[in-house]
Amino acid sequence: MKKDEVPQDLGSLGKITKEVCYATDSSGKYVTQLSSGWDVKTKALDVAWEDIKKRVEHAKEQVLNKSASPLLFFMEYRLMDINILAGYTGFWKWQVKRHLKPTVFNKLPEKKLQKYADAFNIKVEDLKSMTVHEN
């Protein structure tokens, strides 16, 4: 794409920041060019965020139906998987999988719950009640 063809559509972050894109200048060399957004990219991101919202809602339903522990809700909400959560907490992956069961989660000691709460950047009480506080 040529430098003067870099899209300047108002994107999701267009009023806050600009994105660096690579384009070619008049002599054919690659240069960086700032873009305030691209409509196609914005629509694709909107679709992705809608999918994430559905996953979070589905996880919340599973917790309320007692087929999963609140860990599942916060994993979806914070865009984590078992590997990432295990890395943040220091638990083995098999332990995280086991803690996703409500019966096991409800018996976890405060110290282990605190590790999970720290990983999600919330309080233990919020972990247990699936309460989200946005800053």
Domain that holds residue 99: 46-129
Co-location of 18 and 55 in the same domain: no
Q: What is the CATH number of the domain that holds 78?
A: 1.10.260
Radius of gyration of the chain (CA): 21
Burial class (CB in 10 A: 0-12, 13-18, 19+), 76: buried
- Residue 49 to residue 129: CA distance in whole angstroms: 24
Residues 101 and 69 in one domain: yes
- Residue type at 79 in one-letter notation: L
pLDDT band of 4, cuts 50, 70, 90: confident
pLDDT of 7 > 80? The answer is no
- For residue 8, what pLDDT is reported? 80
Contacts 24+ apart (CB under 8 A), 76-79: 76/52, 77/120, 77/132, 78/120, 79/52
| Residue type at position 88 | Y
Instruction: Tell me how many domains the chain contains.
Output: 2
User: 8 lies in a domain?
Assistant: yes
Say if residue 28 is in the same domain as residue 87: no
Same domain, 58 and 121: yes
- 65 shares its domain with 124: yes
pLDDT digits (tens, 9 = 90+) for 76-111: 999 999 999 999 999 999 999 999 999 999 999 999
Q: In terms of domains, do 55 and 105 share one?
A: yes
- 106 occurs within a structural domain: yes
Residue 62 near residue 68 (C-beta atoms within 8 A) = yes
| Shared-domain flag, residues 19 and 58 | no
Looking at the structure, tell me whether residues 68 and 28 fall in a common domain. no
Residue 9 has pLDDT above 80, yes or no: no
SS3 15: coil
**DSSP letter (8 states) at residue 3:** G
Is residue 53 situated within a structural domain?
yes
62, part of any domain: yes
The tens digit of pLDDT for each residue in 21-64 reads 899 999 999 999 888 877 888 888 889 999 999 999 999 999 99
Q: How far is 27 from 24, CA to CA, in rounded Å?
A: 8
The most distant pair of C-alpha atoms in the chain lies apart, rounded to whole Å, by: 67
